[in-house]
Amino acid sequence: MLMGSLGMNTTLARTILVGFIREEVRKVGLSRAVLGLSGGIDSALVAFLAAEALGPENVRAIIMPYRTSNPESEAHARLAAEQLGIGHEVIEITPMVDAYFARYPDADNMRRGNKMARERMTILYDHSAARSALVLGTSNKTELLLGYGTLYGDMASALNPIGDIYKSQVWQLSEAVGVPRVIIDKKPSADLWAGQTDEQELGFTYREVDELLYHMIDLRYSRDELLAKGFGAEFIDKIQAKVQNSHFKRRLPVIAKVSNRTIDRDFRYSRDWGK
Amino acid sequence: MDFTVALAQIKPKLGCVADNLALAEAAVADAVKAGAGLVLFPELALTGYFLKDLVPDVAVRLDAPEIIRLQELSRHIAIVIGCVEVSSDYRFFNSALYFDGGELKHVHRKVYLPTYGMFDEQRYLARGERFRAFGSRFGRMGILICEDMWHLSAPYILAMDGATTLLCLSSSPGRGVSEDESLGSTAAWQKLTATTSMFFNCRVLYCNRVGYEDGVSFWGGSEVVSPAGSVTARGKLFEEDLVVARVEEGELRRERIFSPLMRDESLSVTLKELERIDRERGC
């Protein structure tokens, strides 16, 4: 149950996010976007927002299953794309990923999962170039803060409309924009292997961690205040460590300073420079 | 006197002074067509907001061709617009310029440069050092730029200096989506403009921009607030708009009779106590 703090005026959020996609795409002189549709709620939500912002004819969805992906995922991705009337195609990543891991048969799930995420990224960026379409990111704020994503993989994008929206808010907004019920109701999963669910792998529920992150990050509660609020000490410390240890994923690569004007340190411009 | 004001809720392009001047010219023409005597633009309307290292590149001297052009345009209508002003000693100010009758009549340099959270103004800009009311053909006015308005002393000084109209130029980023009906920043500003006008029995003309810069939205909602704190006209949220409203002298006269707060305000008590505080802090 939400304690209220993560409740969201979805009309307002929708206005801001749809406007964001429309303006930030057009600003760079383009009219189209491309995104990976996994069959999960995050990418479905972004597809709905993008179709509203740019028109369904200007949004392209790529569905990229691996041989161990749950077939239900592809079905849900198709369902979302067909409901929106956006162009979509299925590109299976099994041949590329398996060709690589033939050299490293002992590679663990993390390496395989990362490779799959990066394989998908290269496909999206190829379609970006082929279609003059910006790649839309689908990482939500919870994943970004916990580092639950692959750097230069699913975390890579030109524009991310939902990166400041917690998973609990993704659910609310998805209902408001009409994401199919079956996609909203299923358990979140990275779908790297059969039966995997995010919450099982993380060891807590999204609702629990979203409440904690909201108080820790957005409201800047101190540790004592979080304890007084009823969050467990172990949970607080574990999440604090996750946020801190994954911070490198949220930054550009570190550049060694030599000159008087180093990119991003004392050479500072907005990305929308001249736009 | 009664007059018509136009609030030009535009969407500036970041770092593109020529494009933004063209936007301003178009809005000035629309305002003239709508019968306005005064047109107000947002903070940094000529440049966009998150300028960072672009500040020196987009700055204008007060004799720059863009300024001359705005002077010319002000032959038909009074114009208030935000820009980056560079002084002869190369300080860069977040300034608001008031043009009328073909002349630059008043300059306000933003005093309170927010440098916290998402804001970084003091890193790039120099701080203004004064709040001064000035005479205009619409009565005595004072200019505030965005954060200036959040410091109660700023409108206080202008009101004590005789201003009955407060012009506020803003680039307020949209943030704080909750279950509430309004965005956090919208609700906060609406409280502020209404309260300020009630505290000082001044009308408030508030112009905020729209558009996005690096994912940050600007929410618009420009408004004309009467000296009694009620909103006479309000612009669209998140969309470009030209808000045109009639401002009546009678409203000001009546409010000053009903609620003579400014007549009764004691400058000497305030000064005495502020001086005492200053003395005690120095100890």
**Do B177 and A13 count as a contact with CB atoms less than 8 A apart?**
yes
A274 touches chain B (CB under 8 A): yes
Measured in Å, how far apart are chain A's first and last C-alpha atoms?
Answer: 42
Among residues B42, B15, B40, B18, the alpha carbon closest in space to that of B146 is found at B42
Please indicate whether, in this complex, the C-beta atoms of B183 and A12 are within 8 angstroms of each other.
yes
Q: Look up the CATH number of domain A10-198.
A: 3.40.50.620
Distance (Å) of CA B145 to CA A31, B50, B154, B203? 35, 15, 10, 16
Indicate which of B177, B185, B214 best probes the interface with A, i.e. most A CBs within 10 Å of its own CB. Answer: B177
| pLDDT per position as a tens digit, B24-39 | 999 999 999 999 999 9
The shortest C-alpha distance from B139 to chain A (Å) reads 38
Of residues A9, A20, A24, nearest to B181 (C-beta): A9
pLDDT score, position B235 = 98
Please indicate if any CB of chain B lies within 8 Å of the CB of A220: no
The whole-model pTM stands at: 0.95
User: Between residues 155 and 184 of chain A, which touch chain B (CB distance below 8 Å)?
Assistant: 159
The pLDDT of residue A2 is above 50: no
The verdict on a CB contact (< 8 Å) between A274 and B15 is yes
A265 in reach of chain B (CB within 8 A): no
* Residue that has been written with the tokens 């949970």 in this structure: A235
Domains of chain B: 3-282 (3.60.110.10)
Which pLDDT score, from 0 to 100, does residue A1 have? Answer: 38
Chain mean pLDDT for chain A: 96
Q: Given a cut of 60, is residue A227 above it in pLDDT?
A: yes
- Which residues have CB under 8 Å from A115's CB, separation 6+? A97, A100, A101, A107
Asked if B50 and A270 come within 8 Å (Cβ–Cβ), the reply is yes
CB-based contact A272 B213, cutoff 8 Å:
yes
What does the block give as tokens for B26? 């178009």
Q: What is the pLDDT of residue A193?
A: 74
Average the pLDDT over A255-272 and give the result: 96
Residues in A closer than 8 angstroms to B10, CB to CB, are none
pLDDT score for A201: 87
Q: How far is A155 from chain B (nearest CA, A)?
A: 17
Q: What is the ipTM score, two decimals?
A: 0.94
Contact (CB<8Å) B183/A273: no
Q: State pLDDT tens for residues B131-142.
A: 999 999 999 999
B15, B54, B217: residue with CB nearest A20:
B217
* pLDDT for the residue A4: 58
- Phi, psi (deg, nearest 5) at residue A199: -65, -35
Chain B residues in contact with A166 by the CB 8 A cut-off are none
B180 token code pair: 């509430």
For A54, residues 6+ apart whose C-beta sits below 8 A from its C-beta are: A21, A22, A25, A31, A32, A33
**Min CA distance, B191 vs chain A (Å)?**
19
Burial class (CB within 10 angstroms; exposed 0-12, middle 13-18, buried 19+) of A162: buried
**Does any CB of chain B come closer than 8 Å to the CB of residue A144?**
no
Q: Which chain B residues are Cβ-neighbours of A272 within 8 angstroms?
A: 14, 50, 212-214
pLDDT for B283 equals 67
Query: Is residue B111 a contact partner of residue B128, using CB atoms and an 8 Å limit?
Result: yes
Considering only CA atoms, which of B264, B80, B105, B94 is closest in space to residue B168? B80
Tell me the pairing of strands B3-9 and A133-135.
Answer: unpaired
**Helical segments of chain A, H only:** 10-27, 41-54, 71-84, 94-101, 109-131, 141-146, 167-177, 181-185, 198-202, 206-213, 223-228, 233-245
A99 contact B CB<8A: no
Nearest by CB to A269, from B13, B54, B237: name it.
B54
Per-residue pLDDT 10s for chain B (283 aa) are 999 999 999 999 999 999 999 999 999 999 999 999 999 999 999 999 999 999 999 999 999 999 999 999 999 999 999 999 999 999 999 999 999 999 999 999 999 999 999 999 999 999 999 999 999 999 999 999 999 999 999 999 999 999 999 999 999 999 999 999 999 999 999 999 999 999 999 999 999 999 999 999 999 999 999 999 999 999 999 999 999 999 999 999 999 999 999 999 999 999 999 999 999 998 6
Chain A residues closer than 8 Å to B117 by CB: none
- Cβ-nearest to A269 among B53, B217, B238: B53
List CB contacts (< 8 A) between B51 and chain A: 270
Q: Is B177 close to A267, i.e. CB distance below 8 A?
A: no
Q: Is the pLDDT of residue A32 over 70?
A: yes
Chain A residues with beta carbon closer than 8 angstroms to that of B214: 270-272
Are residues B6 and B31 in contact, defined by beta-carbon separation less than 8 angstroms?
Answer: yes
Contact B212 A15 (CB under 8 A): no
Nearest chain B CA: its distance from A145 CA (Å): 18
A12, A218, A265, best to mutate vs chain B, most B CBs in 10 Å:
A12
Please report the pLDDT score of residue B253 as a whole number.
Answer: 97
